[in-house]
Amino acid sequence: MANIENQKFITLDIFGNNYLSWVLDVKLHLSAKKLRHTIDEDNAASNEERATALIFLRHHIDDGLKYEYLTIENPLELWQNLNDRFQHLKAVILPNALNDWSQLRFHDFKTVWEYNSTLFKIVS
């Protein structure tokens, strides 16, 4: 039960399947904690702020990624490494979403709720 309270959102999958939504969640949570500047270029974050942000990031990534980036001690460096690793997903996901959008037909669904749910998944 304690793990549910500590984890604010789903962890970043080792394959990056949820990378785009994870990035948005991380940015929102770091902003709420007033730590967003720790993942910006040329920031003047204190060592305490960097450590807090790094702990937060490491807590929300897959264990395999934690071990791979074990030696990184700067949240900006970890952020950039993850971005370099998974940024290409935008080029893969967008064409698929556009294809899904073009083939979306209202009469293929039994209820309006199912149609709306599928529509919002494509949009997000």
- Assigned domain for 97 exists: yes
- Assigned domain for 59 exists: yes
The structure tokens listed for 15 are: 């394959």
Give the C-alpha separation, 36 to 76, whole Å: 10
Q: Cβ atoms within 10 A of the Cβ of 31, count?
A: 11
Q: What is the mean pLDDT of residues 10-35?
A: 88
Q: What is the pTM of this model?
A: 0.68
Give the C-alpha separation, 43 to 76, whole Å: 9
pLDDT per residue as tens digits for the range 65-101 = 999 999 999 999 999 999 888 887 666 666 776 677 6
Q: How many domains does the chain have?
A: 1
DSSP letter for 15, please: T
Supply the range of the domain harboring residue 110.
18-123
Give the C-alpha separation, 50 to 74, whole Å: 6
Q: What is the mean pLDDT of residues 4-28?
A: 79
- Assigned domain for 96 exists: yes
Phi, psi of 105 (to 5 degrees): -130, 135
- Assigned domain for 8 exists: no
Q: pLDDT-derived band of residue 27, with 50, 70 and 90 as boundaries?
A: very high
